[in-house]
């Protein structure tokens, strides 16, 4: 089961973190974002409209081509703001 964690404004849209079996069509982080967008269009639109930061197993990643494993924890963070 892949664990999906949503922070900031994404938490408000997703309402909660959840665990799910890795869908068969999901092989990369990019695939996962597309799947989330199909599952929850409002959340997908919010992530597409900003520079979403991804954290896989507590490590920030920038390569959306990285493979996703069924045991991963993946957090989605919106850009930080403030001063």
Average pLDDT on 71-83 reads 83
Mean of the per-residue pLDDT values of the chain: 92
Closest CA to 61 of 69, 52, 49, 71: 52
Where does the pLDDT of residue 82 fall: very low under 50, low under 70, confident under 90, or very high at 90 and above?
Answer: low
Closest CA to 68 of 60, 53, 56, 77: 56
Domains, the chain, in order of start with CATH, read 2-77 (3.10.20.30)
Closest CA to 38 of 16, 23, 19, 21: 23
Average pLDDT on 3-10 reads 94
Query: Looking at residue 81, what is its pLDDT?
Result: 58
Query: Looking at residue 70, what is its pLDDT?
Result: 93
């Amino acid at each position: 089961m892949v664990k999906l964690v949503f922070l900031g404004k994404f938490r408000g849209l997703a309402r909660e973190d959840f665990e799910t079996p890795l869908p068969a069509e999901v092989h990369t982080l990019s695939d996962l974002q597309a799947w989330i967008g199909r599952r929850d269009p409002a959340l997908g639109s919010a992530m597409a409209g900003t520079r979403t930061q991804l954290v896989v197993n507590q490590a920030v990643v920038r390569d959306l081509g990285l493979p996703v494993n069924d045991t991963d924890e993946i957090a989605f963070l919106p850009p930080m703001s403030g001063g």
